[in-house]
Every structure is written in C-alpha cells, then in structure tokens.
C-alpha cells in the first residue's frame, strides 16, 4: 500500500517514515524548521516518534537568517 502524505502542498509517498526520517532524507536542518501536522504544531521532541500516516497534511517551515 502506498502511503500518501501532503507535504507543503505536494502529495508524497512516505511509507513508514517518521517526521525525523523525512526531514533528514530531504535535507532539512532540523533545528531550523517548524513542522505542522494536520493543523497543529508538532513539538520537536516528537519528530522521532511521529510516523507519517496516509492522509496527513504536513507543513514544514524553514527559518532563514538575514537582514
């Protein structure tokens, strides 16, 4: 079964991945992102234990420094 999760507006296959797995595989710098899962902010302490499930809606926001 293909598990599809909408991440930043795009459906992606993420069978069995945790939020931490996804962030690592896609090159996000974990200390510099915030993750919203199904409309709620996901605490960083839960990234390793939160498995992405079919139909989840995820928003990943990267913080960028600058002036």
Tens digits of residue pLDDT in 3-55: 789 999 999 998 889 999 999 999 998 888 999 999 999 999 999 999 999 99
| Closest among 65, 64, 67, 28 to 47, alpha carbons compared | 28
**What is the C-alpha to C-alpha distance for residues 14 and 62, in angstroms, rounded to an integer?**
20
**CATH homologous superfamily, domain 4-62:** Beta-grasp domain (3.10.20.30)
Q: How many residues does the chain have?
A: 67
SS3 state at 15: coil
Q: Is the pTM of this model over 0.95?
A: no
Where do the domains of the chain lie? 4-62
């Amino acid at each position: 079964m293909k598990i599809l999760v909408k991440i930043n507006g795009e459906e992606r296959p993420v069978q069995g991945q945790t939020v931490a797995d996804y962030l690592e595989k896609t090159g996000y710098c974990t200390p510099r992102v915030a993750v919203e899962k199904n409309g709620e902010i996901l605490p960083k302490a839960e990234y390793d234990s939160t498995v992405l499930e079919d139909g989840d809606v995820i928003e990943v926001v990267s913080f960028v420094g600058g002036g």
